[in-house]
Amino acid sequence: MDNRLKISPPLYLIGQKIFCWRCDSKMSVIALLAPHIEDTENQVCVLSDIVELPKEVLLYIQKRVPTFKRRYSKMAGKKYFCNTCPKCGVMSGDFFLHSEPGAPFFPTEEEEAKSLYITEIPLSGSITAKASLCLGTGDLILENAKKI
């Protein structure tokens, strides 16, 4: 599902380092977390399959993690912003990073959530983005991720 989301601040960047599934290099993977999205009753949501982002947000992310790029995903059947390996360039699709319990952005216990960092992205006001939402794991991340 692709939603046009209206997001009120704060918006958080979350991430960690994993090993590339193809070449085993260390790579950064990131996602966005938002506690105030319209029509979600203030559930803390993790965004995945991000198709559109405001320029200011994208610039903030890519300055820190330049390997976050728009790519075509065969599996998703569309272009979206995804995490790519700095060495071999292969993408680690959001399906693998978000969908299975225990995946980098689907922690199921405090210890897993603690391996993520979290930092607030400065916003001048509400923004809109086009992305999918993952519910249910955001609170655990917000409470346990390492603030930087």
Q: How do 117-121 and 146-147 pair as beta strands?
A: parallel
- Which range, of 10-18, 46-54, 60-68, 88-96, touches Zn ion by CB under 5 A? 88-96
Q: How do 91-92 and 68-73 pair as beta strands?
A: unpaired
CB 56 within 8 A of CB 84: no
Residue 85 touches Zn ion, criterion: CB under 5 A: yes
Cβ proximity to Zn ion: between 19 and 120 the closer is 19
SS3 117: strand
In angstroms, rounded to a whole number, what is the distance separating the alpha carbons of residues 15 and 2? 22
Cβ proximity to Zn ion: between 95 and 114 the closer is 95
Binding-residue total with Zn ion (CB under 5 A): 7
CB 121 within 8 A of CB 8: no
Binding mask 34-73 for Zn ion (x = CB under 5 A): ----------------------------------------
Residue 20 touches Zn ion, criterion: CB under 5 A: yes
SS3 129: strand
Torsion sign (Cα): 114, 61, 119, 141: negative
- Which range, of 62-70, 87-95, 101-109, 120-128, touches Zn ion by CB under 5 A? 87-95
Residue 29 touches Zn ion, criterion: CB under 5 A: no
Tokens of 12: 């958080």
- Which range, of 40-48, 70-78, 80-88, 125-133, touches Zn ion by CB under 5 A? 80-88
Query: Which residues are at the interface with Zn ion (CB under 5 A)?
Result: 20, 22-23, 25, 85, 87-88
